[in-house]
Each structure stands twice: as structure tokens, then as C-alpha cells.
Structure 1
Amino acid sequence: MYDVVLLTLSAERDASGGCGSGEACCGGADATGAGVDRTGTGPTPGDADGCAGDRPRVPVLACADALTARGARVQMVTARSDAEIDAVLAQLDGPTRPDGLTWPDADGKTRLVVATASDGQLRAVLRRLVRRYAPAPSRRPADLRDNRTLPDLPPVAVLPLDPARGGAQRDLAAQLGLPRDPAAVAAAVLDGTPRRLDLLRNDGGSVTLDGALFGAADDAGRPLHWRARVEVDNTVLTNGDEPLLACALGNAGGYASLDDVTLLAAPDPADGQVEVAVAVPVVVRSAWGRKRVRLEVRRARGRAVSVLPREGKVPYLDDGVEGELTRKRSWWVEPGAWAVWVV
């Protein structure tokens, strides 16, 4: 039978002012310059900043009961820091390797359930997994896949804490069709199989599971123009000398549209590519010589994307977490690097 760890991220912060390394436990600030969760879920009773409090939430208790009823040994952990997250993840380590690398146990009997109030929380855990298991370039082992910088990460089960995010305001679990009922999540953990998904890493040390949306609006909600060079592999979508209204990069479909404009045509979280789109306002003349502005959407797909701001700061959302881009940032795809338990 399995040992199952139910991990919840606390609203409390450690002495470093965050969840270690500048990242908030609940998906707040991280090394990419992100700020606070703006997914719109808002705090729940007894919680702070939209994060889980110290007492186990009802879905967590229900999932634990379902797992225990099936004979699993259940451990409930509320992590207040990166160190406490890392202590949980250490239970997924494999045997000691001759090269001394810390590696996940492909045949382990410990399984992880991450209780999430936002996609930013899930990202915080995946980021710690990447930091734990990704070897330094100088220690790259021969058994690592050519198109990857890290091994297959241990599968995780996702227990959504906000039922509303399964509806019109869809979180990543809803996009992936993952169960939301605690008993169904328990069944996926004990009876399911891993569904491997692509992961986006970036040169700022963070990861992206769903996608990112770049752009800004004024106090009235009107989009503001900004400029940046956006390049996908060898394709330049814009070189930075024309105004942009938005730029989206998608691993999944959370940022596929902006208002009534379709940005990403068909993002697929398991195709080994990232889809990128920029929305450019273009002035055209009608047959009567009148000028009007239409929105031109340019798209490309590839293994890597870079965004270089040409002036000032560019606000963005990355997995629902706010940030400001002030210098060039690059993302690349790690095909099939992470996985979720599905029935």
C-alpha cells in the first residue's frame, strides 16, 4: 500500500519574508519578479491572502478520509516555507546514485497530493521539484534525455480547494480535466496512471505550467500600448518597433483569449511546443479612405520563446501571478517533464 502526503501551502511566511528564495508559499512573489495572486479566487473564510490557513481545509480532510479508507497511510502537511516543502519532496527521492545526484524514485511507494487554492500554489511546488532534481549543467548525466535538462519529475495529484474554478473561471485542473471531488482525487492517487505534461522553465529560475500574458491597461480598463521584441525559435513575431496590446505564451489554454480576441489557437500541454501570440493594432483604410484600427494576431509555435522589453516595465501574469518584466526573459519547453495522476 502507498504512503500519501497531502501538502497544503500556508499563508504564513518564514523569517526570510517569503517561502524562501523570495517566493511566497501561496504563489505570491517569486524570482521572476511576480507579486501577488490575481486569479480572482480571493480569500476564503479563515484564510489570508487567498492561501490555506494552518487548519486542514474540508476537502483535505475528506481526501484523507477517502485515502485512509482504502488502506493508505496518510500524512497531512502544511508547509510555511520552501524548506518545509523540500522536506516533503525529499520523501520522493530515489536511491543514492553513483554520480551523487539527487534523483526521483521511479518505483517509489510514496505519492504526493497538492491541495491548491490557485495555480500559483501548484507552480510553487513544481518549482521546488525542479530545483531539487535538475542537475547543474556541469553535472549533466549520460542517462538524461537529449531534449531535457531534468529527469521525469514524480507525478502529483491536484486537489482543488476552490470549486468555482472548475466553471467559467477555469484553473489548470479544470483545463486538464482533473477530478475536483476529494474521493475522486484519492482514487486517482491509488488507482490511476501518470499523465505526463510539458513544463516551461525560464532563465529567471522559475517554471510555468499554464502560460503567461503580457500587457497593461489604464484605470478604465483600456489596453495600453507597449513594445518588445518577441522571438519564437528563429521566428520574430515583432522586433519591438511597433506597439503591442498583448502577448501570450501558452503551455495550456488559460491565456488563449483576451476579452473577445483569440490569441492562442490550439495550445496543447503535451505536444512538446509552446504557442506564442502577439496582438498588434494596425491602421487600415476603408474603400472610402477612412482610417480604422484592426487587431492583427500573429502566432508561432516552437521549443523556446524570448521577450525583450524595449521601454520601461511590462506587466504580466504568469500562472495567475503578477510580475513586471524589465529585461529579456526566455522560456523553453521540457517535454513531458511533470505529470499528474489520472484515472
Structure 2
Amino acid sequence: MSDHDQLLVIVDPVARRSDGESVRIAKDVLSAGAEAKICLPDGPEEFSRALARRGSRRPVVLGDDRALLRAVALLHRERELAEGALSLVPIGAPDALEVAHALGVPRATPAAARAVLHGAVRRLDLLVDDSDGVVLGDLLVPGVPALAPAAPSVWGTCRSLVRTLVRPAPAVAAATRLRVEADGVLLADVDAPVEGLSVRSTGGTAEVTVRPLASPARHATARTLTVSGPDFRYRADGRLSGPVRRRTWTVRPGAWGLTLPLDAA
């Protein structure tokens, strides 16, 4: 990257509150290597306005997975994802940065900031659903585990507790009835319960794994995936959505760009 890059550094308010020291380090590294305009939005609306008014500056987000997803979703809605690229300096709790690290963003703040300045843009796939929502990483259906049946009485609860102390209770298998179609090919139907399915976009297609209760897992690659059935929830990039009765996801190959270290891009 050029030493004369103009950056728009948007500091997510959650990052500012949770780890001010990492924010300071990131700002220092970025300001030393480029002309950086620092924005400190107080909430999602100000975050969105700052990104929308970036002009010719290259946007850099200081925050966690949700901040990155918010930026990608906004640019997708404005149909501006194909223009330029995003950069991220991950700041937050480890479990709030799983998507960023899976995409190749460095874990350490100084290394991530240096990658913004000296890295290269990698074009990444995007899953887009029929409500214009986006998925950067993993998609899981259903998004919540099955719960064990409630005990019929207080005495039942006591007996259950005693049994648990004597030996571990067996895991409760999730069971849901879904119709799953990958590029029009039926992978599962509502007459055969499944534990769920997982989806990840890579190489321009979605890798789909369906886990039936009574048979081995089924694998497929597709550009379009449709899931329907009784109300179900799904977890995308760690966030729970739904319930819905039908949802279609389509892979957009190379739809967005993320600045990564040269050895990862």
C-alpha cells in the first residue's frame, strides 16, 4: 500500500469501551503510516453514516465480527461492495472475533494494523439471502440446540439429578424437519428428520453438509441453497436469526474485498 493512502478509521463504540489501549495502538500505527481520519461513532447509525460518507478514503474498521459484518452489510445494501476494499483491525473478546480470524486477519493489534498499510486485497465470496442479508463465514441450521424434555414433577427432577450424579445423562439429539435443496437437487425432505445442516462458501460455491438422524451425512456443493419447513432458526456468523419458514441463500463469488497480510492474500 502507498504511504500516501488516505484512510477512514472507524472505531466501533464497543471496541472503544472494551479495549481502549488496543484502539490507541491501532490508531498510532495507522496514523504513522498513512493519512488517517479518525471517526468515533456513538452507535450503529453514526457508524453507518461515517462509512457512507467515506468519499475516496479507504475504510478501516476497528472492532469485532459484528462491526465487520455491519460494514459489509451496509456496502452490500448500497451496492458498493465491488468498489475498493475493507480493512479490519480486530478488537474485542476472542469469541467475538472468530469470523475475522477465520478470514485471515491477524490476531495481534499491531500486526493487523500493519497489514492494513502493507497488505493486499483478497476477494472473498459472500452468501446473500432472499431478504438481502449477508453471511461472511459459517451458516448453521437450525441455529439453536435441542433442549432436554422437562421433568414431569419435582420428584422427577430429583430422580433425574440422582441419575446424573451416578452417570452422565446421554446427549439429546436435535431433530428438525427441513426440506433442503442445493441447486434444485433435493438433499433432505420433511419426512426424514435431520440434526441440521452447515454451509460455508468457498471457491465460488457453497459447501453444504446435511446430517440426517438415521443415515450418514450428505455433502454437496452448490451456488444456491433453499431451506424450508416448519419455523426454524439459523445461526450466521454467530448471530441467531428467524424463525422463518423458507430462506434461500446464493453465493456471490468474489463479491467483496478484505485487506490481508501478503502471505494470506
State the distance in 2 between where 1:170 and 1:67 align: 20
Secondary structure of 1:223 counterpart: coil
Match of 2:188 among 233, 238, 245: 238
TM-score of the superposed pair, with normalisation by structure 2: 0.79
Whether 1:124 and 2:70 are equivalent positions in the alignment is yes
Match of 2:108 among 174, 181, 191: 181
Q: Which residue of structure 1 aligns with residue 87 of structure 2?
A: 157
Question: Structure 1 counterpart of 2:206, which letter?
Answer: V
Aligned length: 235
Distance verdict in 2 for CA 1:204–1:79, change over 3 Å: farther
Give the alignment's Cα RMSD to 1 decimal.
2.4
| Equivalent residues of 2:16, 2:23 under 8 A apart | no
Match of 1:199 among 110, 121, 126: 126
| Equivalent residues of 1:224, 1:245 under 8 A apart | yes
Match of 1:59 among 22, 31, 51: 22
Q: Which residue of structure 1 aligns with residue 259 of structure 2?
A: 341
Whether 1:208 and 2:135 are equivalent positions in the alignment is yes
Runs of 5+ in structure 1 lacking a partner?
11-50, 94-107, 135-150, 252-267, 283-294
Deviation at 1:228, TM superposition (A): 1.1
Distance verdict in 2 for CA 1:116–1:55, change over 3 Å: closer
Deviation at 1:54, TM superposition (A): 5.3
Deviation at 1:194, TM superposition (A): 0.6
Same amino acid, percent of matched pairs: 28
Q: Which residue of structure 1 aligns with residue 246 of structure 2?
A: 328
State the distance in 2 between where 1:272 and 1:244 align: 26
Secondary structure of 1:162 counterpart: coil
| Equivalent residues of 1:54, 1:78 under 8 A apart | no
Question: Structure 1 counterpart of 2:247, which letter?
Answer: R
Whether 1:228 and 2:148 are equivalent positions in the alignment is no
TM-score of the superposed pair, with normalisation by structure 1: 0.62
Runs of 4+ in 1 over 4 A off after TM superposition: 53-56
Question: Structure 2 counterpart of 1:306, which letter?
Answer: T
Runs of 5+ in structure 2 lacking a partner?
150-170
| Equivalent residues of 2:15, 2:92 under 8 A apart | no
Deviation at 1:53, TM superposition (A): 5.2
Secondary structure of 1:242 counterpart: coil
Deviation at 1:179, TM superposition (A): 1.5
Deviation at 1:71, TM superposition (A): 4.2
| Equivalent residues of 1:228, 1:240 under 8 A apart | yes
Larger radius of gyration: 2
State the distance in 1 between where 2:140 and 2:91 align: 24
Whether 1:90 and 2:19 are equivalent positions in the alignment is no
| Equivalent residues of 2:175, 2:194 under 8 A apart | yes
| Equivalent residues of 1:6, 1:60 under 8 A apart | no
Secondary structure of 1:88 counterpart: helix
Secondary structure of 1:183 counterpart: helix
State the distance in 2 between where 1:201 and 1:128 align: 13
State the distance in 2 between where 1:339 and 1:219 align: 43
Whether 1:76 and 2:23 are equivalent positions in the alignment is no
Distance verdict in 2 for CA 1:54–1:247, change over 3 Å: same
State the distance in 2 between where 1:63 and 1:219 align: 46
Secondary structure of 1:275 counterpart: strand
